[in-house]
Structure 1
Amino acid sequence: MAEHPDYRALFDLTGRVALVVGGGSGIGEAGALALAAHGARVAVADVDQAKAEATVALITERGGTASAHVVDVRDTASVDRLVATVQAAEGRIDVLLDMPAINIRKRLADYTDEEFDRVVDLNLKGTFRVARAVAKVMAAQKSGSMILMSSMRGTSVEPGQSIYGSTKAAITLLVKGLASEMAEHNVRVNALAPSIIATPINAVIRDNPAWKEAYASRTAFGRWGETYEMAGPIVFLASDAASYVTGTTLYADGGWTVVDGRYKPPV
């Protein structure tokens, strides 16, 4: 690469293929739209086919190219089939954005084995299944960028969040390990850690005015984030603008993890 390249072009994804798992809603939908807007051909996968197709429709309305796929990240065969289908259709996978997660808000002592298994199987093992399948493709083609989803809950928790937070903390370490293994193949692996972004997973909080405001006041900006505000971090990590970034977790959390209270000292 030239010493002083075309800096605007560093964010250009034209000709690249992006696989967005969990692209039917929330941050995944916004990420799929953003990657397409920067030139990528996007394979939108979701457990809900109608939602995947809706995202594809939004992309095509804006002049982008996308395809809809069904996947259940709890099923290894389903994940492997998805990755093989996208690779066969497109010839490669340059970007992975992996989104699926659930949260069962209960204190640890009240968790059942079945509930623990549901959260860990989807959040952590589901991420592992997708990353494993895509890693093989990217290693063979000697290039790629993988973006896995962590959360500020990987470092900052509250009652009822211990199991969900544990899965997100585990993903940050999984990213470090996988990045160390994939660097020799010219593949980058990073995590994105949002905080309170208005998505379906946290609708129960936003439906409670006191709870919603309490969370908003915990951020440096005093507000909830919108899904489109994750587009920039996603495109950055996917693109050549992040060519020297791997094994890290990018906190796009509105300052949640750097503010320790709402009182402003008289200084």
Structure 2
Amino acid sequence: MSLFSLEGRVALVTGAGRGIGRGIAEKFGANGAKVVCAARTRSQLDDAVAIIESGGSEALAVEIDVSDLESINAGVQTAIDQFGQIDVLVNNAGMNVREPMMEATEEHYDQIMAVNLKGLYFLSQAVAKRMISRQQGKIINIGSLTTSTTLNQVSVYTATKGAVGQLTKAQALELGQYNIQANAICPGFVVTPLTEKIWSDSTMRNWGEGNIPLGRLATPEDMVGTAVFLAAPASDYVTGQIIYVDGGFMAGNFWPLPSATSK
């Protein structure tokens, strides 16, 4: 098997109907994996499944609400019934509500925690039980820049993504004995259907591009190469890592260049 081939592997990707999750699901299929595309609303998945199948791989659309344990367990069982195994789990489902800390509501707090942290925790647990029986597996958690820093007015989201980083390390520590690797991808500023309104604002776009050493915002396609690496044999000795795919943003390009007159 090629270092980057996913032939013979079954991958479950949450939030696979759009954005980063869809990009990862489609690329996994192109690299030979059978892909279980999961989302809270099944109709979101039809296009992704069709593209994967048109490329010659098998795909299955499964409705999973990651905030609900019954839905998690039912979805995992559906995937097992169809394909017999799950080799790769991508915890991509997430949500955010932008609001000042002093205005955050209990309802929003509970919703964000349930999707971003509780859902990731218990879906990983459900899938890892199947991986343990086969003594192999890959868990890929989708973090954020806020896994290690923060941004204004996303305090609850930041708390969940910081926890994702620590949970990834805990998974690596406890599951390594079963030949299961756990890693996190932390995307930078990605233009998706959910964020394109933000980045269509010229002030925001200029700020973002001006602080990214590579000089541009990311697309979902910029994330898929790292995901393939972490799902493939090439990463069999990589675990517990937090990988920033951010165009260099976290390198700290925040100090303005001096003007010619100040040199």
TM class by smaller structure: over 0.9
Task: Tell me the equivalent position of 2:27.
Answer: 34
Query: Which residue of 2 is the match for residue 125 of structure 1?
Result: 118
Aligned 1:48-127 pairs, distance under 5 A:
48-127=41-120
Task: Answer yes or no: is the 8 Å Cα contact 1:217–1:262 preserved in 2.
Answer: no
* Unmatched runs of 5 consecutive residues or more in structure 2: none
Partner of 2:16: 23
How far is the alpha carbon of 1:159 from its aligned partner? Answer: 1.6
Give the TM-score, by structure 2 length: 0.95
Provide the aligned C-alpha RMSD in A: 1.5
- Of residues 148, 160, 177, the one that matches 2:153 is 160
Mapped to 2, the partners of 1:18 and 1:159 lie a distance apart of 34
| SS of residue matched to 1:82 | helix
Residue equivalent to 2:254: 261
> Are 2:197 and 1:197 equivalent residues in the alignment?
no
Q: Corresponding residue for 2:173? A: 180
* CA positional deviation for 1:260: 3.3
Aligned residues: 260
Give the match's secondary structure for 1:200.
coil
| Counterpart in the other structure of 1:252 | 245
Q: Deviation of residue 262 (structure 1)?
A: 5.4
Q: Would you say the 8 A contact 2:183–2:242 is kept in 1?
A: yes
CA distance in structure 1 between the partners assigned to 2:177 and 2:100 by the alignment:
42
Q: Is the contact made by 1:194 and 1:252 (CA closer than 8 Å) also made in structure 2?
A: yes
Question: Deviation at 1:173?
Answer: 0.3
> 1:240 pairs with 225, 233, 240, which one?
233
| Residue aligning to 1:217 | 210
Query: How far apart, CA to CA, are the structure 2 residues paired with 1:204 and 1:126?
Result: 27
Write the deviation string for residues 3-51 of structure 1: whole angstroms up to 9, x where unpaired: xxx7xx1111111111111111001001001111111011111112111
TM (normalized to structure 1)? Answer: 0.93
Instruction: Using the TM superposition, give the Cα deviation of residue 145 of structure 1 relative to its aligned residue in structure 2, in angstroms.
Output: 0.4
SS in 2 for 1:190: strand
Q: Which runs of no fewer than 5 residues in structure 1 stay unpaired?
A: 1-5
d(CA) in 1 for partners of 2:192, 2:112: 18
- Contact 2:213/2:253, CA 8 A, preserved across alignment: no
Residue of structure 2 in register with 1:3 after alignment: none
**Counterparts of 2:171 and 2:9, CA distance in 1:** 22
Match of 1:117, as an amino acid?
A: D
CA distance in 2, matches of 1:160, 1:79: 30
Which stretch shows the higher mean deviation, 153-162 or 30-39?
153-162
